[in-house]
């Protein structure tokens, strides 16, 4: 498990953060950011960037690379700290606690808010697996290969936040979407456990029907989860169901929609059969005519018009989130390629550089007080990317 020593945040000076942010800016266009560029973006006097860089290197927030030229790249940990610091500055969290989940492409930590509320922070890590082969096979990252893991992880976070928020507003049992920044999504902590950890249920039929109805209701809203299984369903002691993990959701108009839908249904069938020895009386999910009032509460309108494949303007919620149809296509392509690659040769590509990071991992109070994003730095940064709204503090 990875350790996230947020104490480091406290000890970094303003200039050190400036250099860390300058490195992030440089990564818009460079896989390895030339040392002079960091210096220039950071705008510190002679050698200022280098001096600060030493601290960042020591804490593994950046990595030095001189194979082609003298340069630096942001590490996962460096990106984590920039996002966490932003959330701290927004007054949303004051400390990071234990890791509560580790997925193929994410790490989840307990975090605590100013009022002592414990929440969940999901850090997306696209490109952690199946990365090298994907990159060589496909061209969708052609113009972005230098920083694709930052870009993709950020897109995944934006998508997850936007969907979680919209699903919640439509009455689906999902965590409360609180905020997001960079590759991180802040959400309410779900009580209970992933269904995969549950050995026995009081009422497997009820759980089964609830879950199947969720799949059907999602489809009525134009959506397919695509990863609906015992790992992404949380259940508490009263056997209440909460669904999580949305970055791979697709529209019912997706070319593989039927396959994804069937796969979701099949996963639940198989799991309930194997684990709880439960088989439903009829093989099909409830028909519309059988839905209860509770099921009918929400109107079944598509969550996001464009994801649902409709022409015209984006649904308001989606438009407000900033998640575009193009973003969806990029993520869909990534997911497809990653799946393809998983079945290929098991090459695991780039491994997490955080594995070797040591640190103290406790609920420490943070006292970082810098501004969210150093906008003065941003404005002198390299030529913009249209869709990277990094200088737009609110919507990251
Ligand atoms: P991944 O995309 O990596 O599978 P998930 O969102 O499924 O990430 O989260 C991985 C694990 O972390 C889950 O199986 C669950 O145990 C835990 N987890 C995720 N979100 C929450 C949450 N909001 N509250 C409690 N536990 C969570
Ligand atoms: Mg999951």
The Cα 332–Cα 338 span in angstroms is 10
Taking alpha carbons only, the member of 141, 198, 134 closest to residue 343 is: 134
Nearest ligand for residue 156 CA: 1
Length of the chain: 396
Does 308 contact ligand 1 (Cβ within 6 A)? Answer: no
Residue whose Cα lies nearest atom 15 of ligand 1: it is 101
3-state helix, strand, coil in the chain (%, to 5): 45, 15, 45
Q: 227 an active-site residue?
A: yes
State the complex-level ipTM.
0.99
CA-CA distance, 321 to 163, in Å (whole number)?
A: 9
Beta carbon of 175 within 6 Å of any ligand 1 atom: yes
Q: Determine the residue of 188, 244, 247, 342 to mutate for testing ligand 1's pocket, defined as the one with the most ligand atoms within 8 A of the Cβ atom.
A: 244
Beta strands in 252-318 (DSSP E): none
Task: For ligand 1, atom 8, name the residue with the nearest CA.
Answer: 103
Helix (H, G, I), strand (E, B) or coil at 65: strand
Residue 363 has what pLDDT? 33
pLDDT at 94: 92
| pLDDT of res. 88 | 92
Q: Is 231 near ligand 1, meaning CB less than 6 Å away?
A: yes
Q: Which atom of ligand 1 is nearest to the CA of 231?
A: 14
Atom of ligand 1 nearest to the CA of 193: 16
If one counts every other C-beta atom within 10 angstroms of the C-beta of residue 104, the result is 12
Give me the pLDDT at residue 253, please. Answer: 83
Determine if ligand 1 sits within 6 Å of the CB of residue 280: no
Chain-centre distance of CA 42, in angstroms? 28
Locate the ligand 1 atom nearest the alpha carbon of residue 187 and give its number.
Answer: 23
Residue 376's alpha-carbon distances to 41, 135, 372, 380, in angstroms, are 10, 34, 12, 7
Q: Is 103 in the pocket of ligand 1 (CB under 6 A)?
A: yes
Q: Which atom of ligand 1 is nearest to the CA of 101?
A: 12
Q: Is 168 in the pocket of ligand 1 (CB under 6 A)?
A: no
279 Cα–ligand 2 center, Å: 24
Query: Is the shortest distance between the CB of 118 and ligand 1 below 6 Å?
Result: no
Ligand nearest the Cα of residue 122 is 1
**Which residue of the set 227, 245, 295, 315 is catalytic?**
227
Residue 1 Cβ < 6 Å to ligand 1: no
The CA 263 to ligand 1 mean position distance, Å, reads 20
- Torsion-angle region of residue 361: left (phi > 0), alpha (psi -120 to 50) or beta? beta
CA 175 to ligand 1: nearest atom: 23
CA distances from 244 to 82, 151, 381 (A): 25, 22, 36
Question: What pLDDT score does 277 carry?
Answer: 96
| Cα distance between residue 286 and residue 9, in whole Å | 51
**Angle of CA points 299, 303, 308, to nearest 5°:** 115
Residue nearest to atom 6 of ligand 1 (CA): 245
Per-residue pLDDT of the chain (396 residues; tens, 9 = 90+): 566 777 777 788 999 999 999 999 999 888 899 999 999 999 987 677 888 999 999 999 999 999 999 999 999 999 999 999 999 999 999 999 999 988 778 999 999 999 999 999 999 998 754 444 344 444 444 444 435 788 889 999 999 999 999 999 889 999 999 999 999 999 999 999 999 999 999 999 999 999 999 999 998 888 899 999 999 999 999 999 999 999 888 888 888 999 999 999 999 999 999 999 999 886 555 556 665 555 555 666 666 654 544 432 234 555 567 788 888 888 888 877 777 666 554 333 333 333 333 222 333 333 333 434 333 333 323 333 333 333 333 433
């Amino acid at each position: 498990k990875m350790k996230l020593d947020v104490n480091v945040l406290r000890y970094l000076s303003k200039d050190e953060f400036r250099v860390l942010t300058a490195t992030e800016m440089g990564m818009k266009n460079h896989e390895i950011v030339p040392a002079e560029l960091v210096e220039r973006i950071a705008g510190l006097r002679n050698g200022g960037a280098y001096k600060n860089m030493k601290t960042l290197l020591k804490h593994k927030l950046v990595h030095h690379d001189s194979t082609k030229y003298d340069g630096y790249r942001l590490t996962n940990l460096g990106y984590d700290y920039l996002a966490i610091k932003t959330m701290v500055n927004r007054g949303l969290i004051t400390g990071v606690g234990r890791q509560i989940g580790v997925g193929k492409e994410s790490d989840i930590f307990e975090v605590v808010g100013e009022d002592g509320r414990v929440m969940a922070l999901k850090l997306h890590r696209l490109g952690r697996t199946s990365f090298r082969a994907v990159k060589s096979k496909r061209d969708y990252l052609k113009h972005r290969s230098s920083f694709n893991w930052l870009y993709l992880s950020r897109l995944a976070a934006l998508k997850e936040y936007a969907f979680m928020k919209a699903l919640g507003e439509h009455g689906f049992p999902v965590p409360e979407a609180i905020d997001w920044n960079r590759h991180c999504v802040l959400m309410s902590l779900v009580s209970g456990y992933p269904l995969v950890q549950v050995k026995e249920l009081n009422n497997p039929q009820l759980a089964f029907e609830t879950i199947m109805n969720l799949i059907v209701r999602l489809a009525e809203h134009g959506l397919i989860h695509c990863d609906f299984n015992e790992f992404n369903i949380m259940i508490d002691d009263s056997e209440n169901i909460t669904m999580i993990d949305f970055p791979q959701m697709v529209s019912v108009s997706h070319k593989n929609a039927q396959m994804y839908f069937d796969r979701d249904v099949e996963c639940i069938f198989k799991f309930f059969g194997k684990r709880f020895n439960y088989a439903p009386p009829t093989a099909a999910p409830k028909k519309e005519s059988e839905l209860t009032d509770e099921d009918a509460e929400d109107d079944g309108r598509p969550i996001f018009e464009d994801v649902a494949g409709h022409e015209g303007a984006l649904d308001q919620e989606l438009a407000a989130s900033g998640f575009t149809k193009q973003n969806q296509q990029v993520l869909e392509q990534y997911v497809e390629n990653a799946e393809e690659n998983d079945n290929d040769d098991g090459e695991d590509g780039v491994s997490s550089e955080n594995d070797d990071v040591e640190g103290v991992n406790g609920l420490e109070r943070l006292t970082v007080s810098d501004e969210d994003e150093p906008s003065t730095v941003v404005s002198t940064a390299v030529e913009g990317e249209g869709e990277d709204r990094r200088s737009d503090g609110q919507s990251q």
